[in-house]
Amino acid sequence: MKKSIYYSLLMSAMMSVAAAEETRQVDKHEHGVGELNIAVEGSAINLEFMIPGADIVGFEYEAKSDSDIALVNTALSKFQDLENIFTLSSSGNCNLVDAEVEINQGDDHEDEHDHEDEHDHEDEHDHDEHEEEAHNEFVAHYSFTCGNVKEIDRIDFPYFTTFPNSGELEIQFVSEVGSTSFEVEGDKPFIDLKGKI
Ligand SMILES: [Zn+2]
């Protein structure tokens, strides 16, 4: 018994480390599918979006022309003004305490981190194959503290109208009540959180 508790603690510690170091493999994402992790802990709610550049600006190579750079900068500023992306129901009385928006270029991160040692050979092949076809993601993280976090009963996603190239959002949601997932698309751009916080 003790051993298995220790093991699961160890696993969650390892997963936190992995998340912190962004070992996520950008090259394996699916265009048309953005990911969003939502975590409610105490009076805090955190949202982290990881969206393929294809869904945001329509390309994933490094912007070099003036018009591409302008597209990327406009997209980043839209993420910074979070009402373009999502709105929490006002009943939660939440205040934004931190927001970070960046572009995650896949190739560099794979080189830096060798967590999946067993798969070294596979990784190298994958890496070579993908070198001509660059991938990147927009990563946006928002943290709030809320006067009444349990009153958040809905999150709307103007994201879908802000970015017409967007596809679906795959959402992983976790709170004290438990974890659940949602698939959201532009025709019904919200999630219902009644009873889930
Ligand atoms: Zn891609």
Q: What is the pLDDT of residues 126-176, one digit of tens each?
A: 444 444 578 999 999 999 999 999 999 999 999 999 999 999 999 999 999
Mean pLDDT, residues 182-192 taken together: 97
For residue 49, report the distance from its CA to the centre of ligand 1, in Å: 15
* 101 alpha carbon – ligand 1 mean position (Å): 18
CA of 83 to the centre of ligand 1 (A): 25
pLDDT digits 0-9 by tens, 110-121: 444 444 444 445
pLDDT at 27: 72
- Kindly give the distance from the C-alpha atom of residue 136 to the centroid of ligand 1, in angstroms, as a whole number: 6
Q: How far apart are CA 79 and CA 142, in angstroms?
A: 10
Q: Rounded to two decimals, what is the model's pTM? A: 0.77
pLDDT on residue 134: 86
pLDDT value of residue 133: 74
Question: What pairs with residue 170 in β-bridges?
Answer: 35, 183
Check pLDDT > 60 for residue 109. no
Look at residue 91 and give its three-state secondary structure.
Answer: helix
Q: Which residue has better confidence, 66 or 19?
A: 66
The token duo for 129 is: 């194959």
How sure is the predictor about 105, in pLDDT bands with cuts at 50, 70 and 90?
confident
Report how far Cα 96 is from the mean position of its chain's Cα atoms. 17
Ranges 11-25, 31-45, 62-76, 179-193: which has the least confidence: 11-25
